[in-house]
Amino acid sequence: MIDEMDALVLTGPGAFEVRRVPIPTPEPDEVLCKVRAVAICGSDPEIIRGERAGIWPPAYPFIPGHEWAGEVVAVGGAIHGFRVGDRVAGQAHKGCGFCDECLAGRYNLCKNYGKPGTGHRHYGFVNNGAYAQYNAYSPKSLTPITNEVGFREAALIDTAGGAMHAMKLTGVTLGGTVVVIGPGPIGIIAMRAAKFLGASRVIVVGRGERLQTASRLGADAVVNFETDEPVSAIRSLTGGTGVNEAFECSGAKGSLCQAVEMVRRGGRIGLVGIPDEAIREEIPFRYVVSNEITICGSRANPNVSGPILSLLAGGVLKLRDLITHVFPLSEFRSAFETFIERRDGALKVVIEPNGACE
């Protein structure tokens, strides 16, 4: 048995290299997985550049990466329900399992966040992640995937979960109109999901190539905020009424206020994009109160991986066409630059640490 693997190792803020490291040994309650595909997430650049060093990651050296799929290669002695050879998709959050948030199923809000001794894990953020040939995981962070779903697509189950969790929190009005602000990968998935959850019309707000992509992939209407004031554009596209639900997927300053002004009476807002810590928003307080507007913060993707897998397997949700680039782990630097510079229309960039998987 080989005992070393290739991994992307962060050695300090903004400093990284692909090098040989020991393969992790699974604890009795862990599963060792061979990572077949791992997608670069919008949150990875912040971690790689060390903008939150001390928290994400807590210390160096560190292996990031959390949107992945692969196969089980070894199981700890206390594992039931997983076997060598199982195909699985990962999710980043694994709660302690005993705090009241975990007991209520809200393990994304675990009170023991960042305390590994309690059993809490946040793979790729606090605990080593998937930009490696192998990693050991709690089975609670794994969803078995069926054969009709490929590893590359399955790596995007975590990405899709961000949109689906917000939509579970707000609901989507049957026959209603939805606006999605920010046509990145999560925004485009939100646009598609709004349709199969019952919206009759989805409008996407953004700019540039990504807005064109949203248009090509099925938006009913698009608003370019560089040329049109987005709130009045949405009002005029809805006959002055506003939309039933707004999903904010950009995290940009000013867009929460815009979302509030875009929704109709009784409208609901899902906040998916992660804003900079320093951003403060001024919202029309009275308008929110007197129009009974609901604003839902949404963190990560609890309890949605299984349903997303079923939607993928059933052909209801498509993710494959969001993957624009695939690289081996040895070319991580090019992959990362392609992603952050959005080279050649880059949307989702997938890394294959163990060779081509399809």
Q: Which is nearer to Zn ion, 173 or 298 (CB)?
A: 298
CB 140 → Zn ion: shortest distance, Å? 11
CB 296 → Zn ion: shortest distance, Å? 19
Q: Which is nearer to Zn ion, 38 or 96 (CB)?
A: 96
Q: Where are the beta strands (DSSP E) in the chain?
A: 4-12, 15-22, 31-39, 67-75, 87-90, 93-94, 121-122, 134-137, 142-144, 177-181, 201-206, 221-224, 243-248, 263-271, 294-297, 323-328, 348-352
Secondary structure (DSSP) of 198-231: T-SEEEEEE-HHHHHHHHHTT-SEEEETTTS-HH
CB 162 → Zn ion: shortest distance, Å? 7
Please give the C-alpha separations between residue 245 and each of 226, 271, 288, in angstroms, as whole numbers: 22, 11, 14
CB 285 → Zn ion: shortest distance, Å? 32
CB 20 → Zn ion: shortest distance, Å? 26
| β-bridge pairing 121-122 and 93-94 | antiparallel
Q: Which is nearer to Zn ion, 41 or 75 (CB)?
A: 41
C-alpha span between 301 and 94 (Å, rounded) = 11
Do residues 276 and 255 touch, judged by C-beta distance below 8 A? no
Q: Which is nearer to Zn ion, 130 or 231 (CB)?
A: 130
Q: Which is nearer to Zn ion, 152 or 268 (CB)?
A: 152
Do residues 152 and 358 touch, judged by C-beta distance below 8 A? yes
Q: Which is nearer to Zn ion, 110 or 237 (CB)?
A: 110
Residue 187: other Cβ atoms inside 10 A:
28
CB 69 → Zn ion: shortest distance, Å? 13
Q: Which is nearer to Zn ion, 99 or 166 (CB)?
A: 99
Q: Which is nearer to Zn ion, 41 or 296 (CB)?
A: 41
- Alpha carbon of residue 74 to chain centroid: 27
Q: What is the DSSP letter of 238?
A: T
The amino acid that residue 97 corresponds to is G
Measured at the CA of 153, the angle between CA 35 and CA 185, to 5 degrees, comes to: 110
CB 105 → Zn ion: shortest distance, Å? 11
CB 349 → Zn ion: shortest distance, Å? 12
Which residue, among 192, 194, 148, 149, has the nearest Cα to 171 in the 3D structure? Answer: 194
The residue count of the chain comes to 358
Binding site for Zn ion (CB under 5 A): 41, 67, 95-96, 99, 102, 110, 112
Q: Which is nearer to Zn ion, 112 or 224 (CB)?
A: 112
CB 36 → Zn ion: shortest distance, Å? 17
Q: Name residue 6's beta-bridge partners.
A: 20
